[in-house]
Amino acid sequence: MKVLVTGGAGYIGTHTVIELLAAGMEPVIVDNFSNSHPDVLDRLEQISGTKVRCYDVDACDSRALGDVFEKERPDTVIHFAGLKAVGESVEQPLAYYRNNLLAVITVAESMSKYGVRNLVFSSSATVYGDPDQVPIPEDAPLSATNPYGWTKFMGEQILRDVALADSKRRITILRYFNPVGAHESGLIGEDPLGPPNNLMPMIAQVATGQRERLNVYGNDYPTQDGTAVRDYIHVVDLAKAHVRALEHQIGTSGIDTYNLGAGKGYSVLEMVAAFEKASGKTIGYKIVDRRAGDVAVCFADTSLAARELGWEAMKTLADMCADAWRWQSRNIK
């Protein structure tokens, strides 16, 4: 099966490319390298022994993307490409709406033109906004708290309408909780530009000495230690779910939506303690004010993915920390 992977040079994209190859599929990458580096292509080859074809193309560029479809004739598409920094989306809403929504539309149009029916779309638990129940099931009310979140919310809606209009389409929406960790080779991982926004890369950079300390955003939440609780999932487990989603699409039609999380929550301070244990380093931190838009507790009901995809997260918190540490300590910039 030939799989066109938009955003395939990014954090989740690269890990998914490795799992597609391991499953005997043929990934082809489309990426504009706006938040990734062409070096990862050599690293993918080192890990897999396979040279993966890659097109330096923006998923919003209808003509260039059409040329890739024309040349490659993929069987299916995984659409990762998009902007994903929450704070930046608040400052530059139009860039987020333009990029993320135009990319969904352009990918879906190219698929129509070239008769490609199957699509996996990367969405986020951010579409649950401020959840009124945990664990969160897929049919919980949808909302958003920032432009990035709205682009995922709207991207999903566009695809639901596309599926409704054409019964031959096969679409799977995957809602990621908090992807962390790295490939166990230490060759690929999360590589944010500038200071990290997310917890795990920030902890890892404090451990290496690249950052002075971690700011813990609030310790007055109604949780076990007062710090906020999230559902962290190892990126390799997440990548494997994409393979299962593609396999599950074969011979069926319609649209499905699945939560991808580990189904349990850890607090910020539990993450700090687990990382200290994995790295042998002390993580200096300071309690500061809550971050605007953060919720107290967020974790997934993962039973639907277990039942229908036969998938569940296998890696432990210790694995997530050990792999994030290996990656970060070997890739200090």
**Interface positions with ligand UD1 (CB under 6 A):** 84, 86, 124, 126, 148-149, 178, 197-199, 202, 214-217, 228, 230, 268, 291, 293-294
Give the nearest distance from C-beta 144 to ligand UD1 in angstroms. Answer: 9
Q: Phi-psi region for residue 54, left (φ > 0), alpha (ψ -120 to 50) or beta?
A: beta
Of all residues in the shown chain, the one whose CB is closest to ligand UD1 is: 228
Of 41 and 214, which has the nearer Cβ to ligand UD1? 214
Give the nearest distance from C-beta 216 to ligand UD1 in angstroms. Answer: 4
Reference 106, options 72, 63, 147; nearest CA is: 63
What DSSP string describes 229-280? EE-EEEHHHHHHHHHHHHHHHTT--EEEEEEES-S--EEHHHHHHHHHHHH-
Give the nearest distance from C-beta 148 to ligand UD1 in angstroms. Answer: 6
266 has catalytic annotation = no
Give the nearest distance from C-beta 109 to ligand UD1 in angstroms. Answer: 26
Residues 6+ positions from 215 with CB-CB distance below 8 Å = 285, 286, 288
Distance, in Å, from the CA atom of 130 to the CA atom of 139, rounded to the nearest integer, reads 14
Distance, in Å, from the CA atom of 21 to the CA atom of 239, rounded to the nearest integer, reads 11
DSSP bridge partners of 116: none
Distance, in Å, from the CA atom of 212 to the CA atom of 214, rounded to the nearest integer, reads 7
Structure tokens at 18: 């490795």
Reference 142, options 134, 132, 307, 176; nearest CA is: 132
Phi and psi at 24, nearest 5°, equal 80, 15
Distance, in Å, from the CA atom of 36 to the CA atom of 55, rounded to the nearest integer, reads 13
Of 130 and 166, which has the nearer Cβ to ligand UD1? 130
* Catalytic member of 11, 55, 96, 148: 148
Give the nearest distance from C-beta 315 to ligand UD1 in angstroms. Answer: 17
Of 35 and 249, which has the nearer Cβ to ligand UD1? 35
Active site residues: 148
